[in-house]
Chain A
Amino acid sequence: MPASTGPADTAPVSTGQPVALEGILEEDVLVRVEHVTKHFPVRAGGLIRRTVGQVQAVDDVSLVIPRGKTLGLVGETGSGKSTLARCVAGLVPVTSGRVIFDGRDVTNLSRRAMRPVRRDVQMIFQDPYSSLNPRRRVGAIIGDPFAIHRTATGGERKRRIQELMERVGLNPEHYNRFPAEFSGGQRQRIGVARALALRPKLIICDEPVSALDVSIQAQVLNLLADLQQDYGLTYLFIAHDLEVVRHVSDSVAVMYLGRIGELGPRDDVYDTPRHPYTAALLSAAPAADPDTAAARQRIILTGDVPSPIDPPSGCRFHPRCPKARPLCSEQEPQLEPRLGDAPTHVAACHFPVEAGEDLAAAAPARSEVS
Chain B
Amino acid sequence: MTLLEVRDLTVSFNTADGVVQAVRGVSFGVDAGRTLGIVGESGSGKTVLTQTLLGLTPGADISGSARFDERDLLQLTEEEMRHIRGERISVIFQDPLTSLHPLYKVGWQISELIRAHDKSVSKKDAAERAVELLSRVGIPRAERRVNDYPHQFSGGMRQRAMIAMALALSPQMIIADEPTTALDATVQAQILDLLLRLQRESGTALIMITHDLGVVADIADEVLVMYAGRAAEKAPKREVFYTPHHPYTKGLLESIPSSSAAGDRLRPIAGQPPSLINLPSGCKFHPRCGYVMDRCLSEEPDLRQVGESGFHNSACWLPAGAAGLSEEAEELREEAVHEERGEAAAEVAEAVAADVPGVAVVGIEGEGAAE
Give the top 9 A-B pairs by smallest Cβ distance, nearest first. A286-B214, A247-B257, A218-B268, A284-B189, A215-B269, A218-B266, A218-B255, A76-B184, A288-B213
Considering only CB atoms, which chain A residue lies closest to B241 in the complex? Answer: A290
Residues of chain B from 134 to 189 with CB closer than 8 A to chain A in the complex: 135-138, 140, 154-157, 184-189
Contacting pair A215 B217 (CB below 8 A): no
Interface centre among A225, A298, A304, A368 (most CB of B within 10 A): A304
Interface string of A230-263 (1 = CB under 8 A from B): 0000000000101110111000000000000000
Q: Tell whether B265 is near chain A: CB-to-CB under 8 Å.
A: yes
Chain A at the B interface: SS class: helix
Inter-chain contact A246/B188, CB cutoff 8 Å: no
Say how far A220's CB is from chain B's closest CB, in angstroms.
Answer: 8
Assuming A219-B268, A369-B137, is B263 touching A293 (CB within 8 A)? no
Q: Which of A200-229 contact B (CB under 8 A)?
A: 213-219, 221-222, 225-226
- Evaluate contact between A214 and B272: CB separation under 8 angstroms: no
Judge if B267 is at the interface, Cβ distance under 8 Å.
yes
A44 is an interface residue with CB less than 8 A from chain B: no
Is B257 a contact partner of A222 (Cβ separation < 8 A)?
no
Note all chain A residues with C-beta closer than 8 A to B255: 214-215, 217-218
Evaluate contact between B241 and A221: CB separation under 8 angstroms.
no
Measured CB to CB, the nearest residue on chain B to A186 is: B272
A343 — which chain B residues lie within 8 A by C-beta?
none
Shortest C-beta distance, A199 to chain B (Å), equals 21
Task: Give A250's nearest chain B residue, CB to CB.
Answer: B263
Q: Are B185 and A281 in contact (CB under 8 A)?
A: yes
6 more CB-based (< 8 A) A-B contacts, given A280-B186, A289-B241 = A214-B211, A216-B41, A218-B255, A243-B258, A270-B259, A366-B193
- In the bound complex, CA of A290 to CA of B219 (Å): 9
Question: In the complex, A288→B263 CA distance in Å?
Answer: 18
Name the one of B140, B237, B272 contacting A185, with C-beta atoms under 8 angstroms: B272
B253 within 8 A of A: yes
A45 within 8 A of B: no
Q: How far is the CB of A285 from chain B (nearest CB, A)?
A: 5
A-B residue pairs in contact (CB < 8 Å), sample of 27: A76-B184, A76-B185, A185-B272, A186-B272, A213-B42, A213-B273, A214-B255, A215-B41, A218-B266, A218-B267, A218-B269, A221-B257, A222-B358, A240-B184, A246-B259, A266-B262, A286-B185, A289-B241, A290-B217, A290-B218, A290-B237, A300-B193, A305-B154, A366-B193, A368-B138, A369-B197, A370-B135
Q: Which residue from B186, B237, B238, B258 sits with its C-beta under 8 Å from A76?
A: B186
A309 at the interface (CB under 8 A from B): no
Closest residue of chain B to A217 (Cβ to Cβ) is B255
* Cross-chain contact B186 with A288 (CB below 8 angstroms): no
| Residues 202-219 of chain B, each 1 if its beta carbon lies under 8 Å from chain A, else 0 | 000000000111111110
Q: How many A-B residue pairs have CB under 8 A?
A: 148
| Residues of the A chain whose Cβ atoms lie less than 8 Å from the Cβ of B351 | none
B252 at the interface (CB under 8 A from A): yes
Partner of A214, one of B241, B252, B263, B273: B252
Q: Provide the residues of chain A in CB contact with B216, threshold 8 Å.
A: 288
A77 within 8 A of B: yes
Tally A residues with Cβ within 8 Å of B: 50
CB-defined contacts of A280 to chain B, threshold 8 Å: 186
Chain A hits for B242, CB < 8 A: 290
If the complex has contacts A213-B42, A213-B211, are A286 and B268 also in contact, measured as CB distance less than 8 A? no
A290–B135 CA distance with the chains assembled, in angstroms: 30
Q: Indicate whether A13 reaches chain B with its CB closer than 8 angstroms.
A: no
Interface size on B, residues (CB 8 A): 55
Query: In the complex, are the beta carbons of A216 and B272 less than 8 A apart?
Result: yes
Residues on B with beta carbons closer than 8 Å to the beta carbon of A289: 217, 241, 258
Residue pair B187, A304 in contact (C-beta under 8 Å): yes
Pick from A76, A77, A186, A222: contact of B266, CB under 8 Å: A222
Q: B15 to chain A: closest CB distance in Å? A: 16
- Nearest residue, chain A, Cβ from B135: A370
Assess whether B190 is interfacial by the CB under 8 Å rule: yes
Known: A218-B268, A226-B357, A298-B193. A366 touches B257 (CB 8 A): no
Q: Which residues of A contact B256 (CB under 8 A)?
A: 214, 218, 243, 288
> In the complex, what distance in Å separates the CA atom of A242 from the CA atom of B212?
13
Please name the residue on chain B nearest to A286 by beta carbon.
Answer: B214
Q: Within 8 Å CB of A222, what residues of B?
A: 265-266, 268, 356-358
CB neighbours of A301 from chain B (8 A): 186, 189-190
Verify if A287 is at the interface (C-beta below 8 Å from B): yes
Instruction: Find the residue from A183, A219, A298 having the highest chain B CB count within 10 A.
Output: A219
B45 adjacent to chain A (CB < 8 Å): no
Closest chain A CB from B360 CB (angstroms): 12
Contact of A215 among B155, B212, B251 (CB under 8 A): B251
Contacts of A285 in B (CB 8 A): 185, 214
B258 touches A288 (CB 8 A): yes
Shortest B264–chain A CB gap in Å is 8
Contact residues in A for B185 (Cβ distance below 8 Å): 76, 240, 242, 281, 284-286
- Distance in angstroms between the alpha carbons of A366 and B156 in the assembled complex: 15
CB distance from A346 to the nearest CB of B (A): 21
- A303 within 8 A of partner (CB): yes
Residues of A within 8 A of B212 (CB): 286
Nearest chain A residue, comparing its CB with the CB of B214 = A286
